[in-house]
A = this chain, B = another copy of it.
Amino acid sequence: MPYEPSPSRLEAFSDGVIAVIITIMVLEFKVPQANGLAGLRTIVPTLAVYLLSFTFTGIFWVNHHHLVDRLKRVDHLILWANLGFLFCLSLLPFFTNYMVEKRLDSFSVAVYAGLLFTTGVGFTLLQKAISRHLRHVHADPEELALQEAEVRKGKISEAMYLVAIGLAFVRPWLALTDAALVTVLWILPTLGLKHVREKHQQ
C-alpha cells in the first residue's frame, strides 16, 4: 500500500512558511530615535538589506513554484528535503537582523552570505530529490533536461554566494553587491525568456 501524497499540501505548507518568513522580517526593524529625515536616513541600510532578503526569498518562491509544479506525487525524501530547505530559509529573518544590528561589519555580512549559500545548497538538494523522483517515474526527458538546466543555474548562484563570503572580509558592501547581482541574474533572464516565449505562441 505505497503512500504517495499529491504535492498540493507541500505547496500550501511551503507557501505558508515562505509567506511568514518574507513578512516577519519587518517586525525586527526598530523605529529610529531621531525625528524627521535624519531618523529616516538611519534606517535606509536596513531597508536596503530587507529588500535584498525579500528578493532572495521571492526568487526561491518563484523557483520552488516551478520545481514542485513538475511533480504529480511526492515521496518522503522530497518531503524531508523540502523541510531542510525551509529550515535554512527560516533563519533568514534572524541573520538579516543580526547583520543590521552588527551594522554590516565584515563578519556579520560573511555569516549572512554563508546563510544564502547554505540555503542555495538546501534548494539544490531538494532539486536533486525531485530529479531522482522524476527519473523513477520515467518523466518526460525534456522536463528532466529543463530540471538539470535549473540545477546548473543554481550552482552558479551558490558559487557567487561563496565568493560573497570572501568579499565580506575585503569590503562588506562588495559582498552585498555580489549577492544583489545574483538576484538580478535570476530576475532579468526570466523576463527576457518570456518575450521570446510569447513570440512563439503567437
Chain A interfacial positions (CB closer than 8 Å to B): 1-3, 5, 9, 11-13, 15-24, 26-29, 31, 35-37, 40, 47, 51, 54-55, 58, 61-62, 65-66, 69, 75-77, 79-80, 83, 86-87, 90-91, 93-94, 97-98, 101-102, 105, 107-108, 111, 136, 142-143, 146, 187, 190-191, 193-194, 197-198, 200-202
Among B22, B51, B69, the residue within 8 A (CB) of A17 is B22
**Assembly of this chain: how many copies?**
4
Q: Which residues of B contact A102 (CB under 8 A)?
A: 31, 35
Contact residues of A: prevailing secondary structure: helix
Contact of B9 with A65 in the complex, beta carbons under 8 Å: yes
| Complex Cα–Cα for A200 and B202 (A) | 38
Contact A21 B23 (CB under 8 A): yes
In angstroms, Cα B3 to Cα A142, docked, is: 12
Tell which of A18, A94, A101, A201 has the most Cβ of chain B within 10 Å. Answer: A94
CA distance A21 to B26 in the complex (A): 10
**Nearest Cβ in chain B — how far from A187, in angstroms?**
6
Closest to A98 in B: B31
> Whole-angstrom distance between the alpha carbons of A3 and B70 in the complex?
10
